[in-house]
Amino acid sequence: MKPEKYREMTREELERIARDLREELFNLRFRVSTQKLDNPLKLRELRRDLARVLTILREDELGIHKLPGSPGAGVAEQSDQTKS
């Protein structure tokens, strides 16, 4: 999924997606050790999607890009306006 779509989601949704991606990645890694995968590129896609979600969550923590509904989302906008 594109990062723009992830940025439109709330923090709770992103945390749920990250949890689901971790679980799916674990299951695929387990399956790789026991049998051949139908689509081996799925591992790469999952790792990259998880990295995107975790990056966006970290950006929210640092205040680089606030997610909708996250605490302090309006504060960053107000402080930017007062600097002008």
pLDDT tens digits for range 6-42: 989 999 999 999 999 999 999 999 998 888 888 889 9
Does the pLDDT value for residue 79 go beyond 70? no
Does the pLDDT value for residue 71 go beyond 80? no
Distance CA 67, CA 56 (A): 8
pLDDT bucket at 78, cuts 50 / 70 / 90: very low
Q: Are 46 and 25 in contact (CB under 8 A)?
A: yes
Q: What is this structure's pTM?
A: 0.76
- Number of structural domains the chain divides into: 1
Q: Which domain holds residue 13?
A: 3-83
Q: Are 30 and 36 in contact (CB under 8 A)?
A: no
Residue 74 has a pLDDT of 55
CATH number at residue 79: 1.10.287
Distance CA 6, CA 41 (A): 21
